[in-house]
Structure 1
Amino acid sequence: MGINEPAARLRPRTEPSDPAETGVLIVDLAALADNWRTMARLAGGAECGAVVKADAYGLGLAPAMRALLSAGCRTFFVANVVEGEAARAVANDATIYVLDGVVPGAAPRLVAADLIPALGSLGEIDEWAATGRKPKAAIHFDTGMNRFGIPISEAAQAAERARHIAPTLVMSHFVSSQMRDAPGNARQIEAFLDARARFADIPASMANSSAVFLPQRPHFDLVRPGYALFGGNPTPYAECPVRPVARLSARILSTREIEPGACVGYDALWSARRRTRIATIGVGYADGVPVGATSCAEKPAGEALVGGVRCPFIGRVSMDYVVLDVSEAPREAAQRGEWVELLGDGICIEEAASRAGTIGYEILTRLGARFSRRYLGA
C-alpha cells in the first residue's frame, strides 16, 4: 500500500490474527510521511530534517526512518551513539547528528558509524578535534535552556577552536517555542544571531516543531521537527496542523456488573454509586498507560472509546490492567474479546496526556513493548 493512498483506506481492522494479543499499536507511516511534507512546506526555503530519537518517539526507528527517507528527508537527529548506530544501519548516506555530543570515550564509535556530534562545550570541541582529519560537527550554543550547549560568552573561543574541526551546523534550542508570545523566544533568537555571526558560512538551525510556527519564523537553514511528525500538536494554542500517526487499541478481557458501593482496583479509590457495568482491558502502566490516568470519585481521568462511546477509567491503573465503566456503551461493543480505542481520531495524544496529568511526548515514548505493532503505508 503506497504512502499517498487516501487516509480512509489506511483505517485498519484492529482484530489481530493472534488471539493472545491484548494490545495493538497501529503506526500510520503514510501520515508520518505526510506530516514531514507539511513541515517541509512550512519551512519555506529551509531544509527539513527529522528528530527520530527515543526509537522515533516510541513508534519504531527503522520503519519511521524508511518512511521519512521515502518522503525526501535526508538529515536526522538522534540522542546518543547507540541510536545513531541504529539509524546508520537504516540509512547509509543520510546525515545523522547525535545530540549528546561527544560523551567521554565515545568518539571512536561516532567516527566508525560516520555520525556527527553536536558539540556543547569547548572540551568537546578539543576531544573531537583530537580524532584527526578535521571531523564534521555541529556547534551547539546555549541561548537559555541551561541544559546543553556552549555559553554565548564563549562563542569567540568556540570559533577559534573550531578551526581544527569541520563545522557543518550551528544550532541552539528553544525553551518555550510552544508559547507564541513567550518573551524568551525573541531573546534566544537575538543571542543565537550573535553566536552565529562568528560562523557566517555555516548552516544554522534553531527551530523544533513548535518553533516552525513562531511569528519570527526562525527557520534559518534547517528546521528539525520531531513531535509534530509523529502526530503531536506543535501549536497547543490552535488546531493541530498534522495528522495522527499512532492508534492504540486494547482488548476487553472480562466484563461484569457490580452493585452500588462495590469498589474497583487497588486501594479502593473508586466505588460504584449505582449498578455499573464494567470491563477490564489488557493494558496497564507496564505498557505505558500513565498511573496519572487513575480515576477516583473526586477526579475522573482516563477515557477509552467503546463502540464510539467515551467510557471513563475507574479505579487505579495497575501494571497490566485498566477497568472501564462501560454502562453507557453499546452492549455488543463492550463484550469480552472486543476492542476499545485508547488513542486515535477520537482521543488524541494531547487529550490522553492532559487527562493523565502529563505531556504527549511521554505518552508516545512510553508505549510498551508488549503491544503488537502494525505499520501501514510502508
Structure 2
Amino acid sequence: MNEPHESTEFDADEGFGARLTIDLQMLVSNWRRMRELSSPARCAAVIKADGYGLGAEAVATSLYTAGCRDFFVATAREGAFVRQHAPEARIYVMNCILPGIEETCRVAGLVPVLASMEHVAHWTHACIANGDHPCALQVDTGMNRLGLTIQEAMTLADDVTRPSGFSPVLVMSHLACADEPDHPLNDQQLSAFKAIAEAFDGIEASLANSAGTMLGGDYLFDLTRPGISLFGGAVGDHVRPLTEPVVTAEARIITIREAFRGETVSYGGTMTLRRDSRIAVCSIGYADGYMRSLSGTGVTLRGHHPVGGHGFACGQPLPILGRVTMDMTAFDITDLPEGSLRAGDFIELFGANVPLDDVAATAGTIGYELLTLLGQRYRRHYLPVRTGN
C-alpha cells in the first residue's frame, strides 16, 4: 500500500489527510476462527464503540451476513443503529442505564443487560406495565465493575415470587484477568459463575470474552463474546496467528522538507537533528487518535522509554521526529532514496508492516484504545467479503 507516488491526485480522497483500509473478509475470517474456538458454544460479536472504530454499519452487516446472530453493544443508541443492519439478531445492551431506555429497547428489539437490583426492579415494573420483554442478567464474580453480587443473584434465582415479567434469556459475567491465563482469579471467577449458571438452570450462560474464549473448556458455556480478537488485536499472552489484522491506517504526506544538523523539529525543540535530514510532514495527529505519546521525543510521561513510534513506507520503518501534534506528525525519511516519496503519498501508521499492538505498546496503551480513538477525519475504504465466503 506504500508504492511510491500512488496518487498525488486527491480525487476520492479529497478532504481527507488519512485513510483506513478495512478488510471485511479478514473480519469475517477472524469471527469464524473464534467461532471454531468457541464450539460447541455459539459465538457472538462485541461491536461497541462504532465497531471498535471501524464503522458499525459495515462491521455488523458483514458479520450478520456471515451468520453471526448475537451482538453486544454498549448503549441503546448503538443497539438501535446495529438493528438496522442485523434485522434478526439478538442485540444485547451492556451499559443498561435505567430508567430511560425501555422504549428504545422495545421498539428496536434490544436486550438490556441488568446489572444491579435497581435495574431488576425497574425492568420488572416496566414489564408489568407494558408486557414481557427479554433481558439479560449480569453477575459480578470478581471484576467489581457491573453486576449483581453473587448473593443477590442466588437470592433472585431462588425467589419463587419473582414476577413472570422478569424473564432473562442470558446470565453473564465478565473475566477480569483472562488475558493472563495463569492468573488465579480466572479459576475463582469460573467456579463462582458455574454456581450462578446452575442456579439459573435453563437460561443460557456467557462468561468468555476474547481472551476467555482462548482459555477454552469450561469457560465457554453457551455463548462467547469476542471483541478485540475479531479486529486482529492481540489478547494478552495469546498472539497471532489466532486472528489477523483487519485495518491499515495511513497518513498522507503534506510536504517534504529538508533540515540541517543541529536544527530542532516540532514543539518544544525536543528533537535536535544529528544529521542533515529529509522530513515528511503528514496529516495525522492526536485529534485523529494518533497519540501524542508516540512522539519521538518530548513526552515526559513515557519516562525511561525514550524511543517513539514509527511509520512505514518503501520497505523501511520511518521514525517519528519530535512531538506528535494535533493535526501533523513529522517522519524521518532521510534513509529512503531521494524522490521515492513526495507530497500526496501515504505513510503506514499501523497495519501489515507496523502491527497495531506494537504501536499501542510504544504509546503505553493497548490496541483497543488505538482502534476506538480513530476519529472521523479518515477516509474509510472497505475491502468487501468475497462472494462465496
The interval holding the TM-score normalised by the smaller chain is over 0.9
Give the aligned residue type for 1:109. Answer: T
Corresponding residue for 2:301?
Answer: none
For 1:42, the equivalent position in structure 2 comes to 37
Do residues 17 (structure 1) and 11 (structure 2) align? yes
Amino acid of the residue matched to residue 343 of structure 1? F
Give the C-alpha shift of residue 215 in structure 1: 5.4
1:73 aligns with 2:68: yes
How far apart are 1:274 and its partner, in Å? 1.4
CA-CA distance at 1:287 after TM superposition = 0.7
> What amino acid is aligned across from residue 156 of structure 1 in structure 2?
M
Alignment of 1:274 with 2:268, yes or no, is no
Q: How many residues align?
A: 368
Question: Which residue number corresponds to residue 155 of structure 1?
Answer: 153
Counting only pairs closer than 5 Å after superposition, residues 299-378 of structure 1 correspond to structure 2 as 299-378=306-385
Residue 332 of structure 1: how far off its partner (Å): 3.3
Shift of residue 243, structure 1, vs aligned partner:
1.4
RMSD (Å) for aligned C-alpha atoms? 1.9
Q: Secondary structure at the match of 1:150?
A: coil
Q: Does 1:242 align with 2:240?
A: no
Q: How does 1:1-378 map to 2 (within 5 A)?
A: 15=7, 17-18=11-12, 19-132=14-127, 133-159=131-157, 160=159, 161=162, 163-214=164-215, 216-296=217-297, 299-378=306-385
- What code does the residue aligned with 1:185 have? N
Tell me the amino acid that sits aligned with residue 358 of structure 1: T
Deviation string, structure 1 residues 103-162 (Cα, Å, up to 9, x no partner):
222212211211101111111111111122332111100011111001112122322247
Mapped to 1, the partners of 2:6 and 2:19 lie a distance apart of: 7
Q: Tell me if the contact between 1:125 and 1:162 (Cα under 8 Å) persists in the aligned partners.
A: no
CA distance in 2, matches of 1:56, 1:20: 23
Deviation (angstroms), 1:255 = 1.1
Report if the CA contact (8 A) 1:313-1:322 is conserved: yes
Displacement of 1:273: 1.2
Percent identity at matched positions?
Answer: 38
Q: 1: CA distance between counterparts of 2:351 and 2:91?
A: 31
Distance 2:366 2:359 in 1: 9
Letter in 1 for 2:153: A
CA contact (8 A) 1:180 1:215 kept: no
Would you say the 8 A contact 2:214–2:238 is kept in 1? no
Segments of 5+ residues of structure 2 without an aligned counterpart are 299-304
* 5+ long unaligned stretches in structure 1: 1-7
In structure 2, give the amino acid aligned to 1:65.
Answer: A
Aligned equivalents of 2:274 and 2:146: distance in 1?
A: 52
- Say which SS state the counterpart of residue 38 (structure 1) adopts: helix
Counterpart-to-counterpart distance in 2, 1:112 and 1:347: 43
Q: Give 1:134's aligned amino acid.
A: D
Residues 215 and 131 of structure 1: CA distance in aligned 2, closer, same or farther (over 3 Å): closer
| 1:282 Cα offset (Å) | 0.6
Counterpart AA for 1:294: S
Measured in 2, the distance between the counterparts of 1:218 and 1:330 equals: 53
Is the Cα–Cα contact under 8 Å of residues 211 and 238 in structure 2 kept in the other structure? no
Is the deviation greater in 309-318 or in 96-105? 96-105
Q: Which moved more, 1:230-239 or 1:36-45?
A: 230-239
For residue 310 of structure 1, report the CA deviation from its aligned partner.
0.2
Q: What's the CA shift string for 1:261-316, capped at 9, x where partnerless?
A: 11111111111011121110111111110111011187121110021200111111
Distance 2:241 2:164 in 1: 43
Report Cα offsets for 1:16-56 as digits up to 9, x if no partner.
63344321111110000110000001111100000010000
Amino acid at match of 2:41: A
Q: TM-score, normalised by structure 1?
A: 0.93
Cα separation, partners in 2 of 1:38 and 1:230, compared to 1, 3 Å:
same
Q: 1:317 to 1:62 in 2, by over 3 A?
A: same
Runs (4+) of structure 1 moved beyond 6 Å?
Answer: none
Deviation at 1:241, TM superposition (A): 1.1
What amino acid is the match of 1:112? Answer: V
